[in-house]
Chain A
Amino acid sequence: MIRLEVRSTPSRLASALSPLAALLFTVAVAGLIFWALGKDPVRGLKVFLWEPLHGTRGLTELGLKATPLTLCALGLTVCFRSNVWNIGAEGQYLMGAIGGGGLALWFTNAGLDVGRWGFFPLLLLAGALAGAAWAAVVALLRDRFNASEILVSLMLVYVANLFLTWLVFGPWKDPKGFNFPQTTSFAAFTEVPRLVPGMRLHLGYPVALLLAVAVWVFMFRTHRGLQLQVGGPAPLAARYAGFSARAALWMVLLGSGALAGVAGAFEAAGPMGQLTPHVSMGYGFTAIIVAFVGRLHPLGAVLSSLLLAVFVIGGELAQSRIGLPAALSGIFQGVLLFSLLACDTLINHRVRWGGSRGR
């Protein structure tokens, strides 16, 4: 029989290195899977992990994919640290895309040119409000009826997805779009300003980095941030101190909803330039892994979103270059999260083989 015993002093070094160990394990598993599929593991890994880092185009695309991942993961980091298990960032992201995309569409149709720098703050605001509003449903149901935020937030993802589908198949469909489920292309001024000529990387990424620093300052340098972090691990201490659990719930859900919404708005008005049912590639879900791989730390999330962006791009490349299934990227993400959690378990616990049962 195998038993797990809690270690009294988990190694801090091991804890810091655990994402690295998990990554190595994932790479090994990836190699095995390539081999089992009859592909050359070395070439497969090269396409999957190396090519996304190759050249200006590769690096800017990496930043582009890291943008929504970072934004969503920042919100989730705050949520998870506060013991609020919002796993519906995907839904909040989609609503942000609808909000931001809808605004761009309206400005386009109205022919109201406010210029790129005029539209950008409006876009930011629209995405944030739409995402926050969607998360507010979760907060309300949890606060008022004590409904599980895990279930509610997850189920609202599907509602948001169907809402988007209905919009692009119905009222918002491009009349000249040959009946494709998509909106009219947005006017040029609604596009998020790009950073590198000819590349799709846009202003959203520096904004995400700034927000990461802001979240870090908020979490570790302000009293509010501390209050959020007390409620999770020590609810009795929060009550003793007089920190409001309700305020914390609303704050983290509205905040994380707003961040995911901004990510969605950037994506709609950035590289897409229109709304389609495929505005997300599961960024909201991948962000859960980003948050954990980033050790629930805002700056960790910045690094881990780059890693997961490699996975996302590598998955696409592996599909087009060596004909591997698209699901592979998801499998690797899962393996990464699983091995990270396994590493953490082993860091905090000691495995005992056999022996008689203790009390």
Chain B
Amino acid sequence: MTAPRLELSHVTKRFGDVVACDDVALSVQPGEIHAVLGENGAGKSTLMKVIYGALRPDAGEMRWNGEPVALQSPHQARELGIAMVFQHFSLFDTLTVAENVWLGQAPGRPLQAVREGIRRTGETYGLELDPERPVHVLSVGERQRVEIVRALLGEPRLLILDEPTSVLTPQAVERLFTTLRKLAATGCSILYISHKLDEIRALCHRCTVLRAGRVTGTCDPTRETNASLSRLMIGREPPRLTQRAPRPGEVALRVHDLHLPRPDRFGTSLAGIDLTVRTGEVVGIAGVSGNGQQELLAALSGEDPRADAGAVQLLGAPIGRKGASARRKLGLHFVPEERLGRGAVPTLTLAANLLLTRHEALRRLGFIDRRALRSQAEGIIGRFRVATSGPAAVARSLSGGNLQKYIVGREIDAVPRVLIVAQPTWGVDVGASAQIRAELLALADAGCAVLVVSEDLDELFEISDRMYVIARGRLSPSIDTHQATVEQIGEWMSGLWPAPAAEVIP
């Protein structure tokens, strides 16, 4: 038997008092697709950074093709043939896609060759990218594609992928899986980090499960069930949402024939968007990122007030030209995709961050009643079980999931008439995701109209009553979730839906 491509034993990494990886063992064979499964915060990312040479372990050994190695830097890891696609991107905003990829290449390679490489890789793996676009105009999903392409151009012997499918259509996920299988067949090993159980069972040969920094099991995922994997991952069955019977009421949010030229050269223009959300229902918008979601959300939230007044209506009132805070006063609340820097100011306390969208603690002349503000923040922290030291904690000190719970909580607590949520559970762990989804459903049951824009199809199928699909700035007709299939929605995500005449609004 040949030596494993990669073998870790007794790897431990501490950050202060926190043990991120505790005595971890991991072994990957050549050509093996190996899943690393765990919740956010389980230590997956730390472990990958150790393998990639970005972090040095406090204890333990790493062997590469049987030889012990002590990586000093990612540079050294890349020389061995280890490539990584990070969950958090390392791209220069002001440079184009091609220039970013070029920077990671061996010196002396002409930019033109890199451009062609990007196009070729994009076609092969279904990762379409315009090499000439600057990175700052790309959506989160598109940026991740740049990272994947960049890694693949180096022809690695071990490819580490950190949650790579969150930005792909189901068809593209299938295509990626096909490619990954091909890649594995050539002898390249793949470490596939995910918390999506179905994907791991469909793709991976073996699976190492982490919980709280420790390995809780190694198994053959094809022989496991979602329930058994979930038990290894979180120590219990995945939380189930109760089925609800939607009772749609009056139209709360109506978008009629919304046209909006793109805000800059690289945005997406919106064309003829028709959308209705009634009180008491949860409506989802599916789509691959970069197809107009950002533009539509900005037009709905009021961050972009360029629409015709009547093109966006809130409870019958035209609001297309109103700004974000005017719309909020009328009962339209919004949870943006980016938590730090948009949904919350990183350097301000949780209490102060309430004042972005909530004005209950303001007194005459705009004076802040600090006691009222603190108790308001405490209320939200308690009600939504946000793990934090308290209202005085600055926003950036919270984990992504906890900050998201706080921001969603802040908007739900306002008792909105319409709540628009973008990527409610992006990068949020399983427990917190379930909680956020349950809160959204409860809000709809209480008579709020909820619109969820997400790239996570499973999530949309789980919580929405109806779905639309956005593709190239156009919106599909709506379809009842229980009539829809993943394949159909996947097709629609490429822009192939039946003619508008087929539209039926229930």
> What residues of chain A have their CB less than 8 Å away from a CB belonging to chain B?
221-224, 226, 229-230, 233-234, 236-237, 239-244, 355-359
Q: Given the complex of chains A and B, what is the CA–CA distance between A355 and B302 in angstroms?
A: 49
Residues of B within 8 A of A357 (CB): 73, 75
Contact B54–A239 (Cβ < 8 Å): no
Residue B346, interface by CB 8 Å: yes
Contact A237–B345 (Cβ < 8 Å): yes
How many B residues, CB 8 Å from partner?
Answer: 39
Q: Given the complex of chains A and B, what is the CA–CA distance between A121 and B73 in angstroms?
A: 66
Contact A240–B366 (Cβ < 8 Å): no
Once A239-B324, A240-B303 are accepted as A-B contacts, the answer to whether A222 and B367 lie under 8 Å apart by CB is yes
Known interface pairs A240-B334, A240-B356; 12 further A-B residue pairs with C-beta atoms within 8 A, sorted by A's residue number: A222-B368, A226-B352, A230-B348, A233-B345, A234-B342, A239-B303, A240-B336, A240-B342, A241-B325, A242-B302, A357-B73, A357-B75
Contact A242–B342 (Cβ < 8 Å): no
Contact B328–A223 (Cβ < 8 Å): no
Query: Nearest residue in A to B303 (C-beta to C-beta)?
Result: A239
Contact B73–A358 (Cβ < 8 Å): yes
Contact B76–A356 (Cβ < 8 Å): yes
Q: Given the complex of chains A and B, what is the CA–CA distance between A162 and B362 in angstroms?
A: 46
Q: Given the complex of chains A and B, what is the CA–CA distance between A242 and B366 in angstroms?
A: 16
Residue B226, interface by CB 8 Å: no
Contact A242–B75 (Cβ < 8 Å): no
Q: Given the complex of chains A and B, what is the CA–CA distance between A240 and B356 in angstroms?
A: 8
Contact A356–B75 (Cβ < 8 Å): yes
Q: Mark B302-324, 1 if CB is under 8 A from A, else 0.
A: 11000000000000000000011
**A162 CB to nearest chain B CB (Å):** 38
Query: Nearest residue in A to B298 (C-beta to C-beta)?
Result: A239
Across the A-B interface, how many residue pairs have beta carbons closer than 8 Å?
80
Query: Nearest residue in B to A235 (C-beta to C-beta)?
Result: B341
Contact B356–A241 (Cβ < 8 Å): yes
Contact B341–A236 (Cβ < 8 Å): yes
Contact A356–B303 (Cβ < 8 Å): no
Contact B366–A359 (Cβ < 8 Å): no
Residue B326, interface by CB 8 Å: yes
Residues of B within 8 A of A236 (CB): 338, 341-342
Query: Nearest residue in B to A240 (C-beta to C-beta)?
Result: B342
Residue B221, interface by CB 8 Å: no
> What residues of chain B have their CB less than 8 Å away from a CB belonging to chain A?
54, 72-76, 90, 104, 301-303, 323-328, 334, 336, 338, 341-348, 352, 355-357, 359, 362, 365-368, 370
Residues of A within 8 A of B325 (CB): 241-243
Contact B368–A226 (Cβ < 8 Å): yes
Nearest first, the 5 A-B pairs at minimum CB distance are: A242-B325, A242-B324, A241-B356, A223-B366, A236-B342
Residues of A within 8 A of B334 (CB): 240
Q: Given the complex of chains A and B, what is the CA–CA distance between A243 and B302 in angstroms?
A: 11
Contact A230–B345 (Cβ < 8 Å): yes
Contact B368–A234 (Cβ < 8 Å): no
**A210 CB to nearest chain B CB (Å):** 18
Q: Given the complex of chains A and B, what is the CA–CA distance between A230 and B347 in angstroms?
A: 9
Residues of B within 8 A of A356 (CB): 72-73, 75-76
**A23 CB to nearest chain B CB (Å):** 26
Query: Nearest residue in B to A234 (C-beta to C-beta)?
Result: B345
Q: Given the complex of chains A and B, what is the CA–CA distance between A243 and B328 in angstroms?
A: 12
**B78 CB to nearest chain A CB (Å):** 8
**B373 CB to nearest chain A CB (Å):** 10
Residues of B within 8 A of A239 (CB): 303, 324
Query: Nearest residue in B to A358 (C-beta to C-beta)?
Result: B73
**A236 CB to nearest chain B CB (Å):** 4
Residues of A within 8 A of B357 (CB): 241
Contact B328–A242 (Cβ < 8 Å): yes
Q: Given the complex of chains A and B, what is the CA–CA distance between A356 and B73 in angstroms?
A: 7
Residues of B within 8 A of A355 (CB): 72-73
Query: Nearest residue in A to B305 (C-beta to C-beta)?
Result: A242
Q: Given the complex of chains A and B, what is the CA–CA distance between A240 and B301 in angstroms?
A: 8
Once A234-B346, A237-B344, A356-B73 are accepted as A-B contacts, the answer to whether A223 and B338 lie under 8 Å apart by CB is no
**B152 CB to nearest chain A CB (Å):** 16
Query: Nearest residue in A to B52 (C-beta to C-beta)?
Result: A359
**A318 CB to nearest chain B CB (Å):** 40
Query: Nearest residue in B to A217 (C-beta to C-beta)?
Result: B367
Contact A237–B356 (Cβ < 8 Å): yes
Contact B342–A223 (Cβ < 8 Å): no
Query: Nearest residue in B to A223 (C-beta to C-beta)?
Result: B366
From B76, B302, B367, name the one whose CB has the most chain A CB atoms within 10 angstroms. Answer: B367
Q: Given the complex of chains A and B, what is the CA–CA distance between A188 and B214 in angstroms?
A: 82
Q: Given the complex of chains A and B, what is the CA–CA distance between A357 and B79 in angstroms?
A: 13
Residues of B within 8 A of A221 (CB): 367-368, 370
- 12 A-B residue contacts at CB 8 Å? A226-B368, A229-B348, A234-B347, A241-B357, A243-B325, A244-B323, A355-B72, A355-B73, A356-B75, A356-B76, A358-B74, A358-B75
Residues of B within 8 A of A234 (CB): 341-342, 345-347
Residues of B within 8 A of A244 (CB): 323
Contact A242–B326 (Cβ < 8 Å): yes
Residues of A within 8 A of B355 (CB): 223, 226
**B407 CB to nearest chain A CB (Å):** 10
Q: Given the complex of chains A and B, what is the CA–CA distance between A42 and B34 in angstroms?
A: 71
Residues of A within 8 A of B366 (CB): 222-224
Q: Given the complex of chains A and B, what is the CA–CA distance between A42 and B178 in angstroms?
A: 78
From A223, A242, A243, A357, name the one whose CB has the most chain B CB atoms within 10 angstroms. Answer: A242
Contact B347–A233 (Cβ < 8 Å): yes
Contact A223–B323 (Cβ < 8 Å): no
Q: Given the complex of chains A and B, what is the CA–CA distance between A241 and B301 in angstroms?
A: 10
Contact A223–B368 (Cβ < 8 Å): yes
Query: Nearest residue in A to B75 (C-beta to C-beta)?
Result: A356
Contact B359–A223 (Cβ < 8 Å): yes
**B90 CB to nearest chain A CB (Å):** 6
Query: Nearest residue in A to B345 (C-beta to C-beta)?
Result: A234
Q: Given the complex of chains A and B, what is the CA–CA distance between A239 and B352 in angstroms?
A: 16
**A135 CB to nearest chain B CB (Å):** 23
**B296 CB to nearest chain A CB (Å):** 15
Q: Given the complex of chains A and B, what is the CA–CA distance between A241 and B341 in angstroms?
A: 11
Query: Nearest residue in B to A356 (C-beta to C-beta)?
Result: B73
Query: Nearest residue in A to B86 (C-beta to C-beta)?
Result: A359
Query: Nearest residue in B to A239 (C-beta to C-beta)?
Result: B303
Q: Given the complex of chains A and B, what is the CA–CA distance between A247 and B366 in angstroms?
A: 16
Q: Given the complex of chains A and B, what is the CA–CA distance between A230 and B54 in angstroms?
A: 33
Q: Given the complex of chains A and B, what is the CA–CA distance between A236 and B338 in angstroms?
A: 9
Q: Given the complex of chains A and B, what is the CA–CA distance between A243 and B342 in angstroms?
A: 12
Residues of A within 8 A of B324 (CB): 239-242
Q: Given the complex of chains A and B, what is the CA–CA distance between A197 and B348 in angstroms?
A: 47
Residues of A within 8 A of B323 (CB): 242, 244
Q: Given the complex of chains A and B, what is the CA–CA distance between A223 and B365 in angstroms?
A: 9
Q: Given the complex of chains A and B, what is the CA–CA distance between A234 and B346 in angstroms?
A: 8
Residues of B within 8 A of A359 (CB): 54, 74-75, 90, 104
Q: Given the complex of chains A and B, what is the CA–CA distance between A244 and B325 in angstroms?
A: 10
Contact A237–B342 (Cβ < 8 Å): yes
From A234, A243, A355, name the one whose CB has the most chain B CB atoms within 10 angstroms. Answer: A234
Query: Nearest residue in A to B301 (C-beta to C-beta)?
Result: A240
Residues of B within 8 A of A241 (CB): 324-325, 356-357
Report which of B54, B336, B348 forms a contact with A358, defined as CB distance below 8 A. B54
Contact B365–A222 (Cβ < 8 Å): yes
Residues of B within 8 A of A224 (CB): 366
Q: Given the complex of chains A and B, what is the CA–CA distance between A355 and B53 in angstroms?
A: 13
Residues of A within 8 A of B54 (CB): 358-359
From B76, B326, B341, B357, name the one whose CB has the most chain A CB atoms within 10 angstroms. Answer: B341
Query: Nearest residue in A to B359 (C-beta to C-beta)?
Result: A223
**B292 CB to nearest chain A CB (Å):** 19
Contact B367–A233 (Cβ < 8 Å): no
Contact A240–B74 (Cβ < 8 Å): no
From A221, A229, A240, name the one whose CB has the most chain B CB atoms within 10 angstroms. Answer: A240
Q: Given the complex of chains A and B, what is the CA–CA distance between A237 and B74 in angstroms?
A: 34
Residues of A within 8 A of B75 (CB): 356-359
From B338, B345, B352, name the one whose CB has the most chain A CB atoms within 10 angstroms. Answer: B345
